Amino acid sequence: MTSHNGYVWITVDLPEQSIGPVTWYQNDSDDEVALEAFGSLIQMITCFDHDPEANRLLKGRIRRKAGEMYGYRYAPDREPSEFATSSYLITKMLASVVNDSIQRGLDISNGRLLAHQFLNTTYTAGPIGRLFIDSFGERQSKICLSPFNHSHGRFTRALYYDHTETTLQRVPNTVIVWNTPGNRPPRDTPLCGFLGDGESCRKSPITPVIIGMAILILLFTSFLWRPQHGKRILRTCRQNNKYSTGDMQCCERFSTIMAYRVSVLMEFCKKNPSITGKLVRTKTPYGRTRGSFRILKGRIKNPSR
């Protein structure tokens, strides 16, 4: 993950007791790199309008009750988890609904009727502020987007979404540093799309045709080049007078154009009746047929004459 690359990474906030605090600081050689990379990171978390004093008192009470009633003692550097505080608040919410139903003369043994009392209602949840239960029975909480603030070295709220609003709301007096080219919000889709089928990356239908034509041209050119290359090598051998008795070093260069070499040797045999040769075909280990010309009688003295 790098900064200034046009991307912004969004992460969710998990309970710190399970993964530890989300921080760039590990007291090692990668701290500076991590600090720069955190500039492209935004946390999406459930946020509450906490009452700090009420929250402190509630956690202190849970801490004390855990020791008195269950013999469990929290470590000095640990606090009650969010599950503990949420369970307390839900129980308190249920007690409030039951009490209100009794005062209104409703039958609290009717589970369907009792559950209906929770819907479309806002509750005051003490330390964490207000909670709203929608018509489907789901708890609607405020969602906050918190970019990393280099000045403070931590995540700070910049945007939030509340069930009472239809769009994202900006926290007053905050400036978002996107850490992207031009400090602009990134695109809502990748350049090539989520499936790689974006218009800018889509291959033209003529591209395979062009590639196929290029391959055919290269193959045709190689077939024209090989015989001409063989003739040049043979001409060099003749000029240097190296194609003589027992000296086949120059002609060994024809190993890549074997068919041409065999045809030339057969032509020598026709012009020199004293030489007898035979065309031999052998199988290679790869199943291919290889042709070679074997001298049965006579010697090649000077094919250039």
Complete DSSP assignment for 213-251: HHHHHHHHHHHHHHHHHHHHHHHHHHHTT-S-TT--TTG
Instruction: List the single range of 60-74, 112-126, 142-156, 281-295 with lowest mean pLDDT.
Output: 281-295
Q: How many CB atoms lie within 10 A of CB 234?
A: 21
Of all residues in the chain, the percent with pLDDT exceeding 70 is: 65
Do 106 and 112 contact (CB within 8 A), yes or no? no
Indicate whether 90 pLDDT > 80: yes
The tens digit of pLDDT for each residue in 14-43 reads 655 556 667 787 888 888 888 888 888 888
- The rounded distance, in Å, linking the Cα atoms of 190 and 198 is 8
In 71-206, which residue ranges form alpha helices assigned H by DSSP?
82-103, 111-116
Closest CA to 72 of 59, 87, 83, 62: 62
Indicate whether 283 pLDDT > 70: no
- Strands 9-12, 41-47: pairing is parallel
Measured CA to CA in angstroms, residue 36 lies from 32, 234, 242, 250 at distances of: 6, 67, 71, 65
The tens digit of pLDDT for each residue in 171-225 reads 888 888 887 777 788 878 877 878 877 777 776 667 777 888 888 888 877 766 6
Instruction: List the single range of 40-44, 52-56, 95-99, 119-123 with lowest mean pLDDT.
Output: 52-56
The residue with tokens 């209602």 is 121
- The rounded distance, in Å, linking the Cα atoms of 168 and 159 is 6
- The rounded distance, in Å, linking the Cα atoms of 8 and 42 is 7
Instruction: List the single range of 93-97, 98-102, 210-214 with lowest mean pLDDT.
Output: 210-214
- The rounded distance, in Å, linking the Cα atoms of 158 and 173 is 9
Q: What are phi and psi of 226, to 5 degrees?
A: -65, -50
pLDDT score, position 277? 53
The tens digit of pLDDT for each residue in 54-86 reads 888 888 888 899 889 989 888 877 878 777 887
pLDDT score, position 269? 58
Of all residues in the chain, the percent with pLDDT exceeding 90 is: 5
Q: Which two tokens stand for residue 213?
A: 């034509």
Band the pLDDT of 278: cuts 50, 70, 90.
low
What are the E-state strand segments in the chain?
9-12, 41-47, 121-124, 130-133, 139-140, 142-149, 154-155, 159-161, 169-170, 276-283, 289-297
The dihedral sign for the CA sequence 93, 98, 103, 105: positive
Q: What are phi and psi of 31, to 5 degrees?
A: -60, -40
144-173 average pLDDT score? 83
pLDDT score, position 253? 45
| Mean pLDDT rounded to a whole number for the chain | 73
pLDDT score, position 255? 44
Band the pLDDT of 266: cuts 50, 70, 90.
low
Band the pLDDT of 258: cuts 50, 70, 90.
low
